[in-house]
Structure 1
Amino acid sequence: MGALDELLAEKPFSDISVSDLARRAQIGRQTFYRHFDSIGAMLEMRLSFVLSGQKEWASANADNLSPQEWSFQVHLFAFEQVATLPHIAHAILSGAAGKNALSSFQEQIISLRNALPHSAPHCGTPELQHFLPSYHAGAIVSVLLKWVECGCSPDAETMARFMVQMTNPNDN
């Protein structure tokens, strides 16, 4: 991952080849292909690992925290993870890393949003209610992408509080 993050700091995802990555990581191309089909597949595996950790934490703590604190912690996790590898996050959030990585990220947001239905705002009509998780996923992706483009500023905690306030304005 370090080699990919370094390369992403230098050039767009679409301009990075397996040869570039292997050279930077000081491995052979065949070594890379023994583990991954593509650079996008490598990102998807990394993202899957991070998302599973978040989902496990969210499930384990759903009944232990207030909906507001749970939501804050889930958002904080996302912002902290993005800040750890901003160039990789940008490739995923912008869609440059491929549809699968971005879709996995959006599906995670939707599943987390659905984990606490009693904390979700209601839009008035049942036929429109099922659109809220997708709306929230799109908002999170857009805000995270803009945050990365702004140099991950303000800090992750401020952004997590902002997202809780924006997604549940009646609770604040």
Structure 2
Amino acid sequence: MTHAEDESLDLRQRRTRQSLVRALEELLAERPFQSLSVTDICQRAMVHRTTFYAHFNDKQELLRYLLLGVERRCVETCLPKDWSGEARDYFLTAARNVLDFFQSRRSLYRACLRSGADIDAHVLEDQAAEDLAQLLSQPRFHTSFPDFDPRITARFYTGAMLSLLRWWLDSEDPVPVERLIAHLEHFLPAL
């Protein structure tokens, strides 16, 4: 089940899902994903295994659900709303917001990177690229990108940013955000 389908769930079901997600987040901070069992997650969430399986097929699906939730919150909070400035400034502001967002969730993201879980590594990239393509299709970006296909542009920037983000979050000695932004300013053409 996806986050969009959560709307059809009653309050009790939504709370159960959130409890399972929080339990997985807490456990990932303590030990590797591959060492976790559904029983461990259920005990931490204080739900029965039967309840777990009523919501998720396995722990990989729960992890995927957790990651999609993080991506959804990132899009909701990091992409500037009602932007009227230059497209280049929009991308730089969004990049700074994304870096700040994931820096505050660094331990969770690092745990997911090192999880060894059998999940589709492109889940977040696909969703983020789709969201950005929809945004770039809006009239306010047509003057900055008159000849650009929003899907191609979105894939390029999403792939580059996620690769940079993965490297930055997994680094033992991460580069300061300001240095990353300074480099991004050089990479983004004047649009």
1:64 deviation in Å?
2.6
TM-score (norm 2): 0.61
Q: Would the aligned equivalents of 2:125 and 2:158 in 1 still touch at CA under 8 Å?
A: yes
The code of the aligned residue for 1:139 comes to: A
The code of the aligned residue for 2:119 comes to: G
Aligned to 1:89: 109
Q: Which runs of 5+ in 1 are unaligned?
A: none
Aligned to 2:124: 105
Identity fraction in percent: 23
2-structure distance, mates of 1:18, 1:3: 11
Q: Which runs of 5+ in 2 are unaligned?
A: 1-20
The code of the aligned residue for 1:138 comes to: G
Task: List per-residue Cα deviations over 1:32-72 (Å, max 9, x = no partner).
Answer: 223322223223333333434444564843x4333233212
The code of the aligned residue for 1:136 comes to: Y
Q: Would the aligned equivalents of 1:106 and 1:141 in 2 still touch at CA under 8 Å?
A: yes
Asked if 1:144 is matched to 2:144, the reply is no
1-structure distance, mates of 2:71, 2:107: 17
CA RMSD, Structure 1 to Structure 2 (Å): 3.7
TM-score (norm 1): 0.66
Map 1:1-172 onto structure 2 (within 5 A). Answer: 1-56=21-76, 58=79, 60-61=81-82, 63-90=83-110, 92=112, 96=117, 98-99=119-120, 102-114=121-133, 115-116=135-136, 133-150=154-171, 153-155=174-176, 157-158=177-178, 161-162=181-182, 164-165=184-185, 167-168=187-188, 170-171=189-190
1:106 deviation in Å?
0.7
1-structure distance, mates of 2:171, 2:51: 36
The code of the aligned residue for 1:77 comes to: N
The code of the aligned residue for 1:88 comes to: L
1-structure distance, mates of 2:36, 2:98: 25
2-structure distance, mates of 1:68, 1:17: 45
- Relative to its length, the structure with more helix (as a share) is 1
Distance of aligned partners of 1:52 and 1:39 in 2 relative to their CA distance in 1, 3 Å threshold: same
- What is the number of residues matched between the two proteins? 162
Q: Which has the larger radius of gyration?
A: 2
